[in-house]
Amino acid sequence: MTTPAALAPETLYQACPLEHLSFETTAELSDGHGPFGQARAIEALEFGVEIKQPGHNLFVMGPPGSGRRSFVADVLARVAQSEPAAADWCYVNDFDDAEKPRALRLPAGAGRRLATDVRQFIDDVQAAVSAAFGSEKYRAQRQAIEHEFQEQQAEAFERVQAAARERGIRIMQTPGGMVFAPIVDGEVLGPEEFQKLPAERQRAIEQAVEQVGKLLQESMKDVPDRLRASRERVRELDRQVATFAIERLVSELTKRWRLVSDAAAWLDDLHADLASHYEILRHPHGEHQEMPFQLEADGGEPGESRAHRRYGVNVLVSNDPHLGAPVIDEQRPNYARLLGKIEHRARFGALLTDFSLIRAGALHHANGGYLVMKAERLLSEPFAWSALKECLQTGSVRIVPLDQIYGLVSTVSLEPAPIPLEVKVVLIGTPRLYYLLSELDPEFDDFFKVVAEFDDRTERSAAAAMEFAGVLARVTRENELPPLDRAAVARVVEEASRMVEDRERLSTEIRRAIDIVREACHWARKRKDDTVRREDVERAIELKARRKARLRERVHEAILRDTMVIATSGTRVGQINGLSVMTIGDQPFGRPSRITARVSLGGGEIVDIERESELGGSLHSKGVMILAGYINARFAGELPAAFAATLAFEQSYGGIDGDSASSTELYCLLSALAEVPIRQSLAVTGSVNQFGEVQAIGGVNHKIEGFFDICAERGLSGEQGVLIPRANVKHLMLRPRVIEACAAGRFHIYPVDHVDQGLELLTGMAAGTADSAGVFPADTVNRRVADRLRAFAELRLKFARLSEGSAS
């Protein structure tokens, strides 16, 4: 097997060729349309918006920062503009059941007109009724009725009084009624005078009093009936006066709205209701105006008349007929903001409500159009998700206050009539959320049948680079930033590749690229240049990394000060430099780790110290088990595995997982078995399979750079370098300093396909390939390994025999 040569500098970084960018600066470019590199998502989104079928709501999934939300907004705005405006919705009083307000559907823009018309109507009708009841004619008619009754009363009483006078009795008023006093010589008779009268005279007086009492009783017995009849006549008069006053105004109003069915039907009911509630028109603020507190005690706004409260129109949703279908982007989709709510007014300690306090939710506003929400926010709000599903399932929005759902409040509240719902919901979320919902909520797929998936990367090509440049052009224009020249764009494109650690791909997470552009613009302006150059982008990237480098520097400092021991020169048996990536926030960095292996006579077990100390994850353990598989299959042959090995990440105090160090551990173990020293100037990354083939790992750029930084600080010797899986070569997008060092031969990156290649690089000794008999050539690493294993096996056999002898 040939030992691989170090990679040439041009393979370590894929620059963006300037000839791919056919412009001088982004100022020449038209704005890029749509999100970058999301052709499939765009197609799905457009389909999802166009299809008008039940359950065909959209879930737009993709990584944050990929432009999902702004693109959804653009598409919906464009589509909605060409669609008819949605209906207006109003809540009004249901005169038969005030607890169940009635919903009126009106053409777009008509809601406010109806509210204004009705308000004006109430003002007019109040004035008309008030004038009618204040007229001389009415007063006279009413007075006549009342006088008739009072005169009947007075006459009846006068007759009794006359009879009383004839009998020498005076009728006097008391606080509770009347009392009869005998009169003698014009004076009321007192008890003493009465006692002095002869018994016969006393009896006569008592009889007279009794008679007058009876007469009065007789006279009064018809009073209630007469009073009732009089009141009924007054009421009938009032009805006639009120009806006459309002008839023309009602007729005008109903005529104006006769073509709008919901409004016409309600106005008919209003007309009928007015006939029996004209009193509230006559006394707009109640009859007891001297008691101001009572005016507001029924829950209305101060100064608002009772008629306005009873007959007002609550415009829940008002749409402009010229603006197309509504598109609502609900940023805080909690239960109340989604479904609407019923507000209350506090009046003297009581909470009062009526139909005028019903408030629309996002679903009401989006009805007939589109509702956009972030899935994560929706799901984090209690009851919001289930409420949304219920609305989509029933095709209507029903406002039920949360306290009623909880059952915490048992007071009577409103039950507004449900409003028919026709809305397309667009949820925006991460793929993880989508798959979780799909997995855990059996109804989810019924309601969200269309998925528009935003990818986190796209293929890197000349066309993609131009598309990317178009997006940057739009961003700079929208934010009034200076344009980028094509070298600067090329650098941003290259950084987009580095973001996804793939020089053949570009990150679609455009937000991070935009952040770099904004900062580069800052540096360009500081240079007093009206164009952003490549150096500005470089500077922005470098400074951004430096700003967040505190932890990386702390770790590297510990290595450079030998607190954490990492050798970058010399050789040692059973010791190797592994590489790992630490991610803090959005700034990953590579960190070398010392891995050691020790072997001894044993039963074939490889002890993963990380696993034993519960610091290693399951993937790491899997990698270690693969090592055992490789060693046993390649070297043990028919011999029993008679060694024991321990593997450890030295000075590692946190958890370790992943199998990217499995090839490193294998090299270390083979070194220990073969007792062949490993060059400490090299570091290794890569996973390995049971055949010894080295496989790709993640974070290759950061791992290389992490070891490079340590070596560079200590001084590059020309011996140092990193072994990486060959499959990772296409992912290389290294920093310029690393490339420069490689070009100068002071640092090396070796692509490895098989552990044998790695062994040769690490030990400087041939790995050795077994012949047909399974025997490795002499003076090779593998031969030494095989010999050592055989020696362990024989030793173990010897011990076994000795044990058997002593036992027998």
Partner 1 sequence: MSDTDQPPVPTPRRLVLTLCGHRLPRTLGALLRTLGSDGAPELHAMFIEDSDLLKAASLPFAVEFCAATSARRPIDRARIEAHLRREAAEAERGLAELARASGIRWRFEVVRERSRAVVTHALTLTDAVVVTPREESTAPATGGITCIAGDDAAGTRARAVAGALATAEHLPLAQWRLLDATTAGPMAEPVVTAAAVPALLRRPGAQLTVLPATLVERLDASMHDLAESSPAPLVIVR
Quick check: 624 and 663 in contact, CB under 8 A? Answer: no
What does the alpha-carbon distance between residue 127 and residue 249 come to, in Å, rounded to a whole number? 11
We find the least distance from the C-beta atom of residue 198 to partner 1, in angstroms, to be 15
What does the alpha-carbon distance between residue 437 and residue 610 come to, in Å, rounded to a whole number? 36
Quick check: 9 and 742 in contact, CB under 8 A? Answer: yes
Quick check: 121 and 245 in contact, CB under 8 A? Answer: no
We find the least distance from the C-beta atom of residue 303 to partner 1, in angstroms, to be 25
Q: Does 132 bind partner 1 (CB under 8 A)?
A: no
We find the least distance from the C-beta atom of residue 182 to partner 1, in angstroms, to be 8
Q: What value, to the nearest 5°, has the Cα angle with vertex 156 and ends 154 and 161? A: 90
Taking the mean position of all CA atoms in its chain, how far away is CA 451? 18
Residue number with CB closer to partner 1 (94 or 146): 146
We find the least distance from the C-beta atom of residue 170 to partner 1, in angstroms, to be 6
Per annotation, catalytic residue among 341, 374, 424, 703: 703
Site string for partner 1, 214-233 (x = CB under 8 A): --xx--xx-x----------
We find the least distance from the C-beta atom of residue 281 to partner 1, in angstroms, to be 18
Element at 499 (helix H, strand E): helix 486-499
Residue 677 CB neighbour total at 10 angstroms? 17
What does the alpha-carbon distance between residue 623 and residue 633 come to, in Å, rounded to a whole number? 15
Quick check: 108 and 92 in contact, CB under 8 A? Answer: no
Residue number with CB closer to partner 1 (216 or 759): 216
Residue 232 CB neighbour total at 10 angstroms? 11
Residue count at the site for partner 1 (CB under 8 A)? 38
We find the least distance from the C-beta atom of residue 213 to partner 1, in angstroms, to be 6
We find the least distance from the C-beta atom of residue 175 to partner 1, in angstroms, to be 4
Residue number with CB closer to partner 1 (170 or 256): 170
Which of the ranges 135-143, 235-243, 317-325, 539-547 carries the binding residues for partner 1, by CB under 8 A? 135-143
Residue number with CB closer to partner 1 (176 or 654): 176
Does the active-site annotation cover 703?
yes
We find the least distance from the C-beta atom of residue 216 to partner 1, in angstroms, to be 6
Length of the chain: 808
Residues from 728 through 747 that contact partner 1 (CB under 8 A): none
In this structure, the dihedral spanned by the alpha carbons of residues 159, 160, 166 and 172, taken in order and rounded to 10 degrees, is: -130
We find the least distance from the C-beta atom of residue 185 to partner 1, in angstroms, to be 11
Among 9, 63, 109, 213, binds partner 1 (CB under 8 A): 213
Residues 6+ apart with CB under 8 A from 382: 334, 335
What does the alpha-carbon distance between residue 80 and residue 368 come to, in Å, rounded to a whole number? 10
What does the alpha-carbon distance between residue 515 and residue 535 come to, in Å, rounded to a whole number? 16
What does the alpha-carbon distance between residue 788 and residue 675 come to, in Å, rounded to a whole number? 9
Residue number with CB closer to partner 1 (179 or 633): 179
Residue number with CB closer to partner 1 (40 or 201): 201
Residue with tokens 């608002």: 304
Residue number with CB closer to partner 1 (130 or 689): 130
Per annotation, catalytic residue among 318, 507, 660, 662: 660
The two beta strands, 370-374 and 396-397, are: unpaired
We find the least distance from the C-beta atom of residue 365 to partner 1, in angstroms, to be 50
Assign 680 to helix, strand or coil: coil
Which among 526, 91, 83, 473 has a CA at the least distance from the CA of 317? 91
Residue number with CB closer to partner 1 (213 or 640): 213
Sign of CA dihedral 336, 394, 314, 343: negative
Quick check: 244 and 131 in contact, CB under 8 A? Answer: no
Residues from 244 through 273 that contact partner 1 (CB under 8 A): none
What does the alpha-carbon distance between residue 748 and residue 711 come to, in Å, rounded to a whole number? 12
We find the least distance from the C-beta atom of residue 173 to partner 1, in angstroms, to be 5
Residue number with CB closer to partner 1 (23 or 194): 194
Residues 6+ apart with CB under 8 A from 413: 99, 342, 353, 401, 404
Element at 701 (helix H, strand E): helix 700-714
Assign 659 to helix, strand or coil: coil
Residues from 139 through 178 that contact partner 1 (CB under 8 A): 139, 142-143, 146-147, 150-151, 154, 158, 161, 165, 170, 172-178
Does the active-site annotation cover 389?
no
Quick check: 505 and 460 in contact, CB under 8 A? Answer: yes
Element at 626 (helix H, strand E): helix 618-631
Among 31, 43, 206, 794, binds partner 1 (CB under 8 A): 206
Residue number with CB closer to partner 1 (135 or 331): 135
Q: What value, to the nearest 5°, has the Cα angle with vertex 149 and ends 145 and 151? A: 110
Site string for partner 1, 176-195 (x = CB under 8 A): xxxxxxx---x-xxxx--x-
Residue number with CB closer to partner 1 (190 or 774): 190
Residues forming beta bridges with residue 251, ordered by sequence position: none
Q: What value, to the nearest 5°, has the Cα angle with vertex 789 and ends 785 and 793? A: 170
We find the least distance from the C-beta atom of residue 307 to partner 1, in angstroms, to be 21
Residue 793 CB neighbour total at 10 angstroms? 20
Residue number with CB closer to partner 1 (202 or 404): 202
Element at 181 (helix H, strand E): strand 177-184
CA–CA distances in Å: residue 623 to residues 576, 592, 689: 17, 19, 8
Note the residues at the interface with partner 1 (CB under 8 A): 139, 142-143, 146-147, 150-151, 154, 158, 161, 165, 170, 172-182, 186, 188-191, 194, 205-206, 209, 213, 216-217, 220-221, 223
* Residues involved in catalysis: 660, 703
